[in-house]
């Protein structure tokens, strides 16, 4: 199992949508502070 520290560099360039639908690069979110990510998948 990979540790979070070894996975973070590969996730930094991933782009997801923010709450208003705009693109956000994950690495930009933790650049200046610690963060907690919650991924929600909508079925329906």
pLDDT in tens, 1-44: 566 667 667 888 999 888 899 999 999 988 899 888 887 888 87
Give me the pLDDT at residue 1, please. 55
Q: How many of the other CB atoms lie within 10 Å of CB of 38?
A: 4
Residue 16 β-bridge partners = 24
User: How many CA atoms, within 13 angstroms, populate the side-chain half-sphere of residue 42?
Assistant: 1
pTM: 0.60
Q: Are 13 and 27 contacting, i.e. CB atoms less than 8 angstroms apart?
A: yes
Number of domains in the chain: 1
**pLDDT for position 11:** 84
pLDDT value for 2: 60
**Per the structure block, which two tokens stand in for 20?**
């208003």
Tell me the three state secondary structure of residue 15.
strand
| Domain hosting residue 20, numbered range | 1-44
């Amino acid at each position: 199992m990979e540790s979070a520290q070894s996975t973070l560099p590969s996730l930094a360039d991933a782009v997801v949508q923010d709450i208003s639908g705009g693109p956000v690069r994950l690495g930009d979110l933790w650049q200046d502070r610690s963060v907690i990510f919650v991924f929600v998948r909508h079925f329906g």
